[in-house]
Amino acid sequence: MIQEQEQKQTPPLGAQVLVVDDEPLILTSLSRLLTNAGYRVHIARNGNEAVRNIETNRYDLILLDLKMPGLTGHEVMDRIQEKRVDTMVIVVSGDVSIESAISAIRRGAYDFVRKPYEPDEILKRVQNALASRQLELDNRNMAKRLQRSEQWHRYLVNSSLDLIYSLDTEGRFTFVNNAVERILGFPKRELLGKHYTTIVHDEDVLGAAHLFNERRTGERSVRVELRLKHVDESRLHSPGKRFVPVELNAMGMYDSDGDGQRRFIGTYGVVRDIADRKRAEKTIAYQAYHDLLTGLPNRALFQDRLAQAINQAKRDNTQLAVMFLDLDKFKFVNDSLGHVAGDKLLKTLAARLRSCLREVDTLARLGGDEFVLLLPQINEATDATLIAEKILLALQQKFVIGDHELFASVSIGIVLYPDDADTSENLIKRADVAMYHAKNQGRNNYQLFNYAMDAQASGRLALVRDLRNALDHSEFEMHYHPQVDIPSGRIVGFEALLRWNHPTHGLLSPSSFIHLAEETGIILQIGEWVLRTVCGYAIKWRDAGLPPVRIAVNISPQQIQKPHFADNFLKLLEEHQLDPALIGIEITESTIMKDVEQTIPKLIKLGEAGVEISLDDFGTGYSSLSYLTKLPIHTLKVDQSFIRDIPRNAGHLSIVNAIATMARGLGLRLVVEGVETQAQLDSLIGIGCKEYQGFLFAQPLPSGKATDLLRGNHAEQRAEIKIAS
C-alpha cells in the first residue's frame, strides 16, 4: 500500500518536520539530513519540549524517539491523540521489541524505524509518510468540497425559479423542486410518482414524448417549448390561467454498474415559465403589425395578406379587389375639434367600416385618415362596388363624438387583380389613384380604376413640375370679377382671380392647380405675386382717375398662417401708398378654423387698419351661425352652390334668405356668388339681397377688359348722375 503511494505521489517539499530526540548527535544528524533533503526542520530535545512545540506549531510529520527522560515517546503520542493534533508520527527508536512497536502503532504512529538507521532508508520513509498525508489531506478536502457542493446544489435546486424535476425510466416523477407549486399550482407531493403526461397539455403530449424518451434524450440536453397544465382555476384563485407555456431542457440520466456498463435510469430537466416572454413577444408582434389606435392591421400586415391573397388568386385563377379609402375633410375635424375627437372619429369609423365586411376581408389603416381594404375571392367588379356602396351608406349615419355630432364620408378608389395590376405595390398605388379621382369627383363616392386615371396621375406630376417654373416664366395673370350693387347696377368691387397661362394646356383656372400649389407650398410665392400684381393695378386705376373700387384677394391657409402675414400685408400697402380700404381679403371659414387662435388677431389687425375681410364660400363650412358674431369680418360671400338651383330649389332660397337676414342683423355686407340667370337675380332681389358677383353681369375679366368695364361703368354712372341732376 505504502509502496503504491510512493510511486504515485511526490512528497511535498518544504513540509514542516519536528525531530524529537534526547541524543544531541542523532538530533543534529537527522535534522541535517532532512534539511538537506528540502524539509523545514524543527527540533525538540525531550518529550516535554516536543509537547510544547506541538501545542503551538503545526507539523506535517514528527520523528519521535521513544525512550526519553521526562515524557516518553508513547506519552507524547498520547498527548497528540488527546489533543487531536493533525500530524503524522514516525517512531525512530532503538527499542526494537514488538510490544513497543505495536503500542506505537496503536497510538497512531504511521511508521517505525529502527536505530541505527540508514539515511536513505529514513528519507524514503519520511517521503512515504508525507505523501500519504498529502493524499489524506486531498481526500479530506475533496470530501469537504463535495459536501459543500451538495449543499450548494440543494440550495440552487430549491430556490430556483425554474421547475427542476427528475423522472424514472417509466416517466414518473421522482423529484420536483419547490417551484412546481408556483408555476403549476401542484403541491410537490401530489406530483411525485405521477406520470409526466398528467401535467402536459393534451395537444403537446406527442411532441413532449421524445423529451422523456431514453433514446432521444441521450446525454445531450434537448430543448422544447410546450404547454403544461395548471391546477384548476378554483384552487388557484387566478381564473384564466389554465395552461402555462414553458421552455423545457431535458437530459437522460445514466448510472454505471459494477461492470462499467452504462444504464439509463431516467431523465431530468429544467422547466422555465415563459408566459411573460410569450406575452411580450405577442405584444411586440401585435405592435409591429397593427395600428394601435384602431386595432386594425397596419400597412406591413396588409401587404403580407395582400401578397398571400395574390398568390392564392393566381393558383385558383380568381380575382381580388383592393380599395383605398380616404376620409373626406378629416383635417378639418382635427383642426377644429382637436386630435382627441379626431382619434375617436377614426376609431368609430374603423368599427363601422368593419361591420360592412366579410370575415375574409382585411381592413387596414395606413396612417392618418387613409384605410385600405382587401377583398379576396371576387367574381366581378360589382362584388367590390356593392361593398363600396354599403360603406358609403353606412357612413350616412351621424357620428356622435363627445358633444359633437359629425358626418363623415369617404372617397374610395377600387382596383381589381389581375385586370388593373398584378403586384401588391401597383394594386395599392392604383387604388390610391382611383381614390384621388373620387375626391376630384366631389368626394363621398367610389371610382373604379382605369388606365386614363393613371395617365392623369402622371399628368399631375408634370403639372407640379410646370408649376415650379410658372412664376419665372411669367405664366400667371390676374382676372377681375366684378361685384355689382343690384339697385344701382354699379360695380362696387372686384374679386381678383388667378389664371395660369400654361404653355401647352392653355388658360387654366385655379381649380386645376391651386390644390397642387398648396400641397407643394408654391402657393406662398404665388400669393406674394398676386398681392403685388393686384396692388399694381389698384395704383394704375387710381392714377387713371377711375373711381376707387375695392379689389378682394383670395388668401390661402398657408399664407395667413405665416406669423407676420398682417404686418407684411400692411407694409406692402404702405409701400404702394395705397389706402387699405382698396384691397380686401377673402378667406374661408375652414382657413380660419385651421388655427383660430393665431388667425383672429391677424384679421383684427387688418380690419382695424381698414382692410375689408370677407368670409368666402359661406354656408359650406361647419361652424354654427352664432359663431359668426365672434369673427372679425365685414362681408359674407354666399357660396354659389346655394344659388345654382334657385329658383327651382326653394330650400336653397330659404337658406340664402336666412343668411341674408342674419347678415343684416349682424351688420355684415352680403355678396351672393354665382348668379348666372335673371331668374336667380330676381329671386335674390325678392329676399332683399343687394350685391352679387356672377356671370350674369360678367365673366372674370383680364385686367385690360376690367379697366374698360370700370371706365364704362364710371362713365355710365356719371351720365346717370347727369340725368338725375
Q: How deeply is 635 buried, as exposed, middle or buried, from its count of CB atoms within 10 A (0-12, 13-18, 19+)?
A: buried
CB of 548 to ligand C2E, least distance (A): 21
Q: Are 335 and 347 in contact (CB under 8 A)?
A: no
Amino acid, single-letter form, for residue 494: F
Which residue stretch of 290-298, 357-365, 385-393, 508-516 sits at the interface with ligand C2E (rule: CB under 6 A)?
Answer: 508-516
- Interacting residues of 215 by C-beta distance below 8 A, sequence separation 6+: none
* Residue 693 interacts with ligand C2E (CB under 6 A): yes or no: yes
* Residue 510 interacts with ligand C2E (CB under 6 A): yes or no: yes
Q: Are 347 and 371 in contact (CB under 8 A)?
A: no
Q: Are 268 and 340 in contact (CB under 8 A)?
A: no
Q: Are 650 and 616 in contact (CB under 8 A)?
A: no
What whole-number distance in Å separates Cα of residue 349 and Cα of residue 396?
11
- The SS3 of residue 599 is helix
How many residues in the chain?
725
* Residue 556 interacts with ligand C2E (CB under 6 A): yes or no: yes
Q: For Mg ion, what does the binding mask look like between residues 159 and 178, x meaning CB under 5 A?
A: --------------------
C-alpha grid cell for residue 518?
A: 398648396
* Residue 530 interacts with ligand C2E (CB under 6 A): yes or no: yes
Which residue lies nearer to Mg ion by CB, 229 or 637?
Answer: 637
* Residue 168 interacts with ligand C2E (CB under 6 A): yes or no: no
* Residue 616 interacts with Mg ion (CB under 5 A): yes or no: yes
C-alpha grid cell for residue 491?
A: 360695380
Buried/exposed 246-261: b ≥16 CB within 10 Å, e otherwise: bbbebbbbeeeeeeee
Quote the strand ranges of 137-277, DSSP E: 163-167, 173-176, 222-229, 243-256, 262-273
Other CB atoms within a 10 A radius of the CB of residue 81 amount to 12
Task: Give whole-number Cα distances, 63 to 43, 58, 84, 90, in Å.
Answer: 9, 14, 17, 5
Which residue lies nearer to ligand C2E by CB, 100 or 554?
Answer: 554
Q: How many residues at the interface with Mg ion, by CB under 5 A?
A: 4
CB of 642 to Mg ion, least distance (A): 11
Which residue lies nearer to Mg ion by CB, 65 or 586?
Answer: 586
Which residue stretch of 167-175, 214-222, 507-515, 571-579 sits at the interface with ligand C2E (rule: CB under 6 A)?
Answer: 507-515
What whole-number distance in Å separates Cα of residue 218 and Cα of residue 203?
24
Which residue lies nearer to Mg ion by CB, 326 or 617?
Answer: 617
Quote the strand ranges of 540-674, DSSP E: 550-554, 583-588, 613-618, 635-638, 669-673
Chosen from ligand C2E, Mg ion, none, partner binding at 497 (C-beta under 5 to 8 Å by type): ligand C2E
Which residue stretch of 1-9, 368-376, 461-469, 694-702 sits at the interface with ligand C2E (rule: CB under 6 A)?
Answer: 694-702
Backbone angles phi, psi at 200, to 5 degrees: -95, 135
Which residue lies nearer to ligand C2E by CB, 453 or 552?
Answer: 552
What DSSP state is assigned to residue 172?
B
Other CB atoms within a 10 A radius of the CB of residue 574 amount to 11
* Residue 509 interacts with ligand C2E (CB under 6 A): yes or no: yes
Which residue lies nearer to ligand C2E by CB, 416 or 497?
Answer: 497
* Residue 336 interacts with ligand C2E (CB under 6 A): yes or no: no
Residue 203 CA to chain centroid, in angstroms? 33
Counting Cα atoms < 13 Å in the Cβ hemisphere of 301 gives: 19
Chosen from ligand C2E, Mg ion, none, partner binding at 700 (C-beta under 5 to 8 Å by type): ligand C2E
Give, for 138, the enclosing helix (H) or strand (E).
helix 119-159
CB of 501 to ligand C2E, least distance (A): 14
* Residue 695 interacts with ligand C2E (CB under 6 A): yes or no: yes
- Of 49, 326, 432, 586, the residue at the interface with ligand C2E (CB under 6 A) is 586
What whole-number distance in Å separates Cα of residue 94 and Cα of residue 543?
150
Which residue lies nearer to ligand C2E by CB, 527 or 621?
Answer: 527
CB of 713 to ligand C2E, least distance (A): 17
Quote the strand ranges of 108-230, DSSP E: 111-114, 163-167, 173-176, 222-229
* Residue 586 interacts with Mg ion (CB under 5 A): yes or no: yes
Q: How many residues at the interface with ligand C2E, by CB under 6 A?
A: 23
Chosen from ligand C2E, Mg ion, none, partner binding at 510 (C-beta under 5 to 8 Å by type): ligand C2E
* Residue 554 interacts with Mg ion (CB under 5 A): yes or no: yes
CB of 566 to ligand C2E, least distance (A): 17
Per DSSP bridges, beta strands 476-485 and 490-502 are antiparallel
What DSSP state is assigned to residue 297?
B
Listed residue (673, 512, 714) closest to 706, CA to CA: 714
Which residue stretch of 9-17, 345-353, 542-550, 691-699 sits at the interface with ligand C2E (rule: CB under 6 A)?
Answer: 691-699
- Of 497, 593, 613, 701, the residue at the interface with ligand C2E (CB under 6 A) is 497
Chosen from ligand C2E, Mg ion, none, partner binding at 556 (C-beta under 5 to 8 Å by type): ligand C2E
DSSP-assigned letters across all residues of 342-355: HHHHHHHHHHHHHT
- Of 31, 87, 267, 554, the residue at the interface with ligand C2E (CB under 6 A) is 554
Which residue stretch of 237-245, 303-311, 510-518, 649-657 sits at the interface with ligand C2E (rule: CB under 6 A)?
Answer: 510-518
DSSP-assigned letters across all residues of 447-465: EE--HHHHHHHHHHHHHHH
- The SS3 of residue 201 is coil
* Residue 617 interacts with Mg ion (CB under 5 A): yes or no: yes
CB of 507 to Mg ion, least distance (A): 18
* Residue 675 interacts with ligand C2E (CB under 6 A): yes or no: yes
Which residue lies nearer to Mg ion by CB, 428 or 613?
Answer: 613
What whole-number distance in Å separates Cα of residue 641 and Cα of residue 617?
9
Q: Across the strands, what pairs with 226?
A: 246
What whole-number distance in Å separates Cα of residue 318 and Cα of residue 311?
10
Which residue stretch of 312-320, 505-513, 576-584, 626-634 sits at the interface with ligand C2E (rule: CB under 6 A)?
Answer: 505-513
Which residues in 459-478 contact Mg ion (CB under 5 A)?
A: none
CB of 418 to Mg ion, least distance (A): 45
* Residue 493 interacts with ligand C2E (CB under 6 A): yes or no: no
What whole-number distance in Å separates Cα of residue 196 and Cα of residue 201?
11
What DSSP state is assigned to residue 397?
S
Listed residue (57, 59, 222, 214) closest to 130, CA to CA: 59
* Residue 3 interacts with ligand C2E (CB under 6 A): yes or no: no
Which residue stretch of 270-278, 472-480, 532-540, 549-557 sits at the interface with Mg ion (rule: CB under 5 A)?
Answer: 549-557
- Of 49, 204, 673, 691, the residue at the interface with ligand C2E (CB under 6 A) is 673
What DSSP state is assigned to residue 628?
G
Which residue lies nearer to ligand C2E by CB, 369 or 586?
Answer: 586
Which residue lies nearer to Mg ion by CB, 319 or 635?
Answer: 635
Which residue lies nearer to ligand C2E by CB, 346 or 611?
Answer: 611
The closest residue (CB) to Mg ion is 586
Which residue stretch of 101-109, 310-318, 664-672, 693-701 sits at the interface with ligand C2E (rule: CB under 6 A)?
Answer: 693-701
Which residue lies nearer to ligand C2E by CB, 7 or 511?
Answer: 511
- Of 63, 89, 412, 498, the residue at the interface with ligand C2E (CB under 6 A) is 498
CB of 477 to Mg ion, least distance (A): 17
**∠ CA 335-337-341 to the nearest 5 degrees?**
110
What whole-number distance in Å separates Cα of residue 152 and Cα of residue 181?
22
Which residue lies nearer to Mg ion by CB, 432 or 586?
Answer: 586
Residues in touch with Mg ion (CB under 5 A): 554, 586, 616-617
Residues in touch with ligand C2E (CB under 6 A): 481, 497-498, 509-511, 514, 527, 530, 554, 556, 586, 616-617, 640, 673-676, 693-695, 700
